[in-house]
Amino acid sequence: DFSQFLLDSMRAMQKKGAMPWPFHDFWLRDMAYASGKAGLTRKPENVKQSSYAFFPGCQLAGSDPRYVTRTYEWLRSKKPDAAIWMTCCGAPAEWAGEVDIHAAHLEEMRRQWRELGEPTVVLACPNCRKMFEEYLPELPVVFLAEVMEEWGVEKDAALEPDNAEKGEMEAGSAQQAQSYALFDPCASRYYPELQESVRHLADAAGITWENLPYDGKKARCCGYGGHIGIASPSHTSYMTTSRAKEEELPYVTYCVNCRESFAGQGKEAVHILDLLFGLNGAGRPAATVTERWHNRLAAKRELLKTYWNETIEEETHMKLEVEKELERKLSASQILIEDMEQVIEHCEREDRGIIDPETGHRIGHLKIQHMTYWAEYEVLPDGGYKLWNGYSHRMNLEGE
pLDDT per residue over 308-339, tens digit each?
999 998 888 899 999 999 999 999 999 999 99
Give the model's pLDDT for residue 400: 56
What confidence tier does 157 reach under pLDDT thresholds 50, 70, 90? very low
H or E element: which one contains 269?
strand 269-271
Q: What is the pTM of this model?
A: 0.92
| Rounded Cα–Cα distance for residues 298 and 296 (Å) | 5
> Quick one: average pLDDT of 84-102?
95
What 305-311 contacts at long range (C-beta under 8 Å, 24+ apart), as own/partner pairs, is 306/69, 307/42, 307/44, 307/45, 307/76, 307/84, 308/42, 308/45
Side by side, the strands of the sheet bearing 83-86 are 40-42, 83-86, 52-55, 120-123, 141-143
Give the model's pLDDT for residue 94: 94
pLDDT per residue over 331-362, tens digit each?
999 999 999 999 999 999 999 999 999 999 99
CB neighbourhood size of 166 (10 A): 11
Helix, strand or coil for residue 311? Answer: coil
- Provide the Cα torsion 332, 337, 342, 344; round to 10°: 100
What confidence tier does 70 reach under pLDDT thresholds 50, 70, 90? very high
Biggest alpha carbon distance in the chain?
67
H or E element: which one contains 253?
strand 251-253
Cα-based distances in Å from 223 to 52, 71, 230, 231, 387:
32, 26, 11, 12, 30
H or E element: which one contains 279?
none
Can you list the positions of beta strands (E) in 87-213?
120-123, 141-143, 179-183, 208-211
> Quick one: average pLDDT of 130-136?
96
